[in-house]
Amino acid sequence: MKLRTGKSRAVLAITGLVASLALAGCGSDEDGLVSEDGVLEIATIAPMSGPSAVYGESMVAMIEHLFDEVNEDGGVEFGGEKRELALKVYNDEGTPQGAQAVTRDAMDDEQQVIIGPFNSGSASAVQSTMGQSEAFWLLNAAIVDGPTKNDNVFRTAARIQAYNEPTIEWIKAHPEIKRVATITDQTHTAMMSSQEQFVADVEAAGAEVVLEQSAKLGDTEFRAPVSEVMKSDIDLYVLRMNPTESGLITKQMDELGGDVQLIWSAALTNSDTEVMFPDTSVVDGVLRSTPATGLDTLIADGNPMAQALQEALGDQTGGYGAFTHDTIRILFKGMEKAEEATVESLIAAMGALTADEVADVTLNDYSAQDGGLVFKDREVEFDGEVAIYRDGQGWVRAE
């Protein structure tokens, strides 16, 4: 598979094979999707190094676990036949430039089923390449608007509203919140593009946004903005940042003696929280406004599927384990529904999937959209939640 226009160049990629499947030297069918040995190679673009590497590593661990499961049963049904799966990983280092480079590599490798990119900035940077390609793309985490305008790009991740709306509903339910401050990651495309609407929604909910601060991925010093918040009689400080930066803000607030209520727009697992906060009392009472990207609140609710995944993968489930699990399970359902093992048939099958058909295999509850379908304009719909960290218990849904 090549781009419809232009010439691509090769760059380094990380390659992983599931179940030790040797692909070298294998011919492929006329569509280039399935090898002569019946192996279907699926690619993923993920940050395997850099600040976001923890997410890429856990994402790959979940995909490999699910691929191993179906391979033990002969593979996934696709086009009426069982196909064993192999995974090839392209490391974009979590940057737009890296994504552009490895996407060109994936085009040279003629990849036709691609999961990712993971980061919103990366997905935005290769949006035009997605549309020019003949591949099927599936976004499992990136929430930036735009890529799914291409008819070959689907998204199983919640969009930015599932991160913003729980905070708005929390403010409505707590009229004592009058003064709000925000700090937003300048490098997070979806957060930045929704900032103006988010502020308008906060004020429509009855609170005043007193401060709008900004920072960027990789920043480590937040004492100045934290001090400004502490001096401004703020009731709620919304950290529209990635987990590492949100954790640093939380620590520096504690060091400066602040007691402002924090609400994160970032997910962090219980185990990662314990690593980041050796004294977990520092994060006790912190709120989190996200969809269920990871397993922790699902496990706390007694979800048996989430509990089984935790037992199988442990800390490797990561902050986006639930999203990645659901992406792969929905992809499998689309493959089972496809009449042929082709990109065109897969796109048609994914668009025809109903919410009922995926309800028993996903962790999140995907709402039925027009005609009962799970996708509308290649986007899904499900709600976010407000969780709270309880020292000694972990992240649980807030009442």
Q: How far is CA 303 from CA 81, 308, 326, 340, in A?
A: 32, 9, 14, 34
- Does 173 share its domain with 278? yes
CA 384 to chain centre: 13
Number of domain units in the chain:
2
Same domain, 277 and 332: no
DSSP result, 169-191:
HHHHH-TT--EEEEEEETT-HHH
Q: What is the pLDDT of residues 95-107, one digit of tens each?
A: 999 999 999 999 9
**Does 112 lie in the same domain as 185?**
no
Q: Give yes or no: residues 239 and 342 share one domain.
A: no
3 assigned to some structural domain: no
Residue 12 has pLDDT above 90, yes or no: no
* 158-200 residue pLDDT tens: 989 999 999 999 999 999 999 999 999 998 888 999 999 999 9
Residue 5 included in any domain: no
Burial of 303 (0-12, 13-18, 19+ CB in 10 A): middle
**Beta-strand relationship, 179-185 and 208-215:** parallel
Q: Are residues 148 and 192 in the same domain?
A: no
Same domain, 148 and 250: no
Same domain membership, residue 114 and residue 85: yes
* 285/348 same-domain check: no
Cβ-contact 298, 396 below 8 angstroms: no
Same domain, 347 and 359: yes
Flag whether pLDDT at 16 surpasses 80.
no
Mean pLDDT score of the chain: 90
Q: Which helix (H) or strand (E) holds 139?
A: strand 136-139
Q: What are 389-398's pLDDT values in tens digits?
A: 999 999 999 9
Token representation of residue 180: 């709000």
Q: What is the pLDDT of residues 206-248, one digit of tens each?
A: 999 999 999 998 899 999 999 999 999 999 999 999 888 999 9
Q: How confident is the model at residue 143 (pLDDT cuts 50, 70, 90)?
A: confident
Segments forming the whole domain that contains residue 229:
161-290
Residue with structure tokens 């994504």? 99
Prior bond of 278 cis (ω within 30°): no
3-state per-residue secondary structure call for 215-238: ECCCCCCCHHHHHHHHHCCCCEEE
HSE-up (13 A, CA, CB side) for residue 197? 10
- Considering the domain boundaries, does residue 100 fall inside one? yes
d(C-alpha 396, C-alpha 93), whole Å: 31
CATH of the domain at 250: 3.40.50.2300
pLDDT tier at 33, thresholds 50, 70, 90 = confident
* Confidence bin at 366 (pLDDT 50/70/90): very high
Query: Do 276 and 192 share a domain, yes or no?
Result: yes
257 has pLDDT over 60? yes
142-164: average pLDDT: 93
β-sheet bridge partners, residue 289: 386
Predicted pLDDT at 27: 37
276/261 Cα distance (integer angstroms): 19
| Average pLDDT for 58-77 | 96
pLDDT at 9: 31
Residues 70, 126: one domain? yes
Determine the straight-line distance between the first and last CA of the chain, rounded to whole angstroms: 50
Q: Does the residue 381 lie in any domain?
A: no
pLDDT average, residue stretch 34-39: 76
Written as six digits, the tokens of 56 are 């890429």
pLDDT at position 32: 61
194 and 280 both lie in a single domain:
yes
Q: Nearest 10 degrees: CA dihedral of 46, 50, 53, 54?
A: -160
pLDDT value at residue 380:
97
